[in-house]
Amino acid sequence: MSTPTDPQLLHDGDLGEAEVLPPLPVDLTVLSVTWERVFVTLHLQASPGPGSLLPADLSFSFVDGRREFEVPATRRSDGGFDIRVNITTFEDRRGIPNGTWRVRARSGEQLSAPAEFDGERLGDLDDASRVFLYDSNRQVLTVSFGIAENVDDLDRLDFLMRTYQLAREKPAPKRRKLRFRPIKRLRKALFSDTRKQAYAGIIYQLVNRWVGVKPGRILFASDQRLKLDGNLLRVHERLLERGYGDRLEMKFSFRLPRTGGWRTTIRIIYLLATSEVVLLDDYFGILKSVKMDPRTKVIQLWHAGSGFKSVGYSRFGNPGSPKLWHPHRQYTYAITGSEHLRHVYAEAFGIEESAVIPTGLPRVDWFLDEKRTAEFTARFYAEHPELAGKRIILFAPTFRGRSIYTAFYDYDQIDFARLYEACGEDTVVLFRMHHFVHTPIDIPEQYRDRFFDFTTFADGLNLLHVTDVLITDYSSIIYEFSLLDRPMLFFAPDRVNYAATRGFHRDYDETAPGRVATTFDEVIDAITTGEFEQEKVARFRAENFDRIDTGAADRVIDWLILATPAEDSGRRVAAEAHGEVRDEAEDSAEAEISEEEIA
C-alpha cells in the first residue's frame, strides 16, 4: 500500500485553478464483506462504462476526504476483485487509521465514483462489523460498515467503512481515608510502570547519543530463558566455528520475566543502545520502552518453527492480544523455515512479508548432523540401557494456563493403567512436560518400569532421534520431528476450548501431521493398532521446509548479520517504525506473560 502525498482528489473539492477531471468511468459495487482473523476482504464487482473497457492500470483506494490509501486487490475468476487488508498492519507497521472510508478505483489521475452497496442488504453490513478489544478492555479498534447517500446521484448508496481507535482511562480508585505516607506516595509517583518505561527510554537515548552503536557488536538476548540455547546458541556456535570470535564483539543477556532489577535492566538498555545487531528468540518486553536506532538490526530468531497456536497479531482482540504498538513492530527481520510461512509470521509480528526471511531454523543444523546424532544415540543408550531395544513413545504436550506463573497440565487426563497395558513389555513412555509446568508428573510406582519422567532431560531436541512415536498436542516440537518421517499422535481433548481461548492460525485437524485423538480411548487405539495417519507427515514437511540441510545458521549469518537481504523494504520500514514507539505497557502474546514491569 502507498499513501500519496497531497493526493489529487480533483472531483472532491475546489483546488484553485486546477483542471477538474471527469470521474473514471468504472462502476464499483461491494457485494459482500468477509473476515479472516485481522484480515478484512471486500468483494467487489467493477463494471466499465458504456463503450469502454476496464483500464489496464486499474487500482483501488480507500478515500476519506483528501486522504487516500492505495489498497491491494486481486482479480477473481468471475472478473470481480477482492480487496484484502490487514487492519493491524495497514501501512508502515501501523494499524488502519481513523476515518470514514469510501472505496474508489483509480487509473492515472482519475478516480471513480465511490463503490455502492445494495440498500436492501444493510443487515449484512451489521453482521460484518467488528469490535477488537485489547489492553484489558481499555482500548478498542472498531471496524463498522454502513451506507451514505451519494452527493452526485441520490439513487446510489455509497459503501462506507468506518474505523476508529478509542480508549478509556483506568477507573479511578475508590476514595478512602488516606494515611499520611509521603515517602510511599513519592515512590509510587516516581516509580510507576509508566515512569519506569519513560526512564528506560531516556537512558537508551542518552547512551545511544553519547556512546553510539559500536560496529561489530552483537547482542544475544532473551527475557524468557536463563542461558544461551536453541537458535541463538547455534548461531553463536557457528560464528565461532567460522572464526568470528575475534572479529566480532559478542555480548549476552538472559533472564526470566520479573526476575531482574534495575542493575540488569540498565545493562540491557546499554547493550541495546550500543549493539549493531540484536538477536532475539522470543518476546522481548523491554523493546516497548525504547526507540531503537535504525542502524541496529533487530533479528527475531523465534524458536517455534511451526505451531498451531495463534500468536501476536493473529489473535488481536482476543485474550492476550497485543496492542497496536508492540515490541514485535521493532524487528528488522524475522526468520522462518519456508516461503510458505512468510505470511504467517508477518501477520503474527505485524511486519511486512519482505522482512520475514526463509533461512530455516538454525537449531535444525544440529538435528540433521549425522555425526552428532550418532554420538548422542550411543551415549543415550549407554546411560539408559533399560531402554535399548524398546519402542519409545515420547509424551510431550505443551502447557495450559495464561502464563509462566500459572502454567499447568491436567494429569487426570492420563489413564496410566490402560496406557501401561497397551504398551506391553516392548514399549516404554518418556514423559517430557513443558518447562513452564511447575507441578511434576507423578508416575505411580507400579508403572515405573515402563514409564519415565524425562522432563529435565538436558537435550530435548536430540531426544527425538530415539523416539519412535511422538504424542503431543499444540507444541512446535512437531517441526523437527517431521524430518524423521515417524508417526505422531495429537492428544487434544480440549481442542474446542483451546481454539476458543488461544485460537488456531490454521485448521487443527487439517494441519496436524498425524492422527488427532480427542479421548484417551483413541490414544489407546492408536498405540495398539498402529494407526497414526502417518501419510500426513510428508505434506507437512513439504509446507514447512524449503531446504532440508545444515546451512540455516550460515544463512542467518550471511544474509542477515553480515549483509542485508535483496528485499530491503523490511529494513527500511522497520527504521521508520522505530519512531513510533509509545511509552505504554504491553502483554506477551506468545506466553501471555504480563510485562508491566521492565525491571
Radius of gyration of the chain from its Cα atoms, rounded to whole angstroms: 27
Is 48 within 8 Å of 25 (Cβ atoms)?
Answer: yes
Q: Is 27 exposed, middle or buried (0-12, 13-18, 19+ CB in 10 A)?
A: middle
Q: How many CB atoms lie within 10 A of CB 548?
A: 11
Q: Tens of pLDDT along 349-371?
A: 999 999 999 999 999 999 999 99
The DSSP symbol for 119 reads: G
In whole angstroms, give the CA distance from residue 535 to residue 467.
18
Q: Tens of pLDDT along 499-543?
A: 777 777 778 888 899 999 999 999 999 999 999 999 999 999 988
Q: Which residue has the cell 513439504?
A: 542
In whole angstroms, give the CA distance from residue 532 to residue 525.
10
Mean pLDDT of 111-125: 95
In percent, the amount of the chain with pLDDT more than 70 equals: 86
Q: Which residue has the cell 502525498?
A: 5
In this predicted structure, the answer to whether residue 14 has a pLDDT above a threshold of 90 is: no
Q: Tens of pLDDT along 404-438?
A: 778 889 999 999 999 999 999 999 999 999 988 98
Angle between helix axes 416-423 and 520-529 (nearest 10 degrees) is 10
Domains and CATH numbers, the chain: 26-167 (2.60.40), 183-364+551-580 (3.40.50.11820), 369-544 (3.40.50.12580)
pTM, two decimal places: 0.84
DSSP 204-242: HHHHHHHT--EEEEEEEEESSBSS--HHHHHHHHHHHHT
Q: Which residue has the cell 497397551?
A: 422
**What is the model's pLDDT at position 500?**
76
* Least confident range of 303-317, 328-342, 536-550, 572-586: 572-586
In whole angstroms, give the CA distance from residue 364 to residue 279.
17
Q: Tens of pLDDT along 163-173?
A: 999 998 877 66
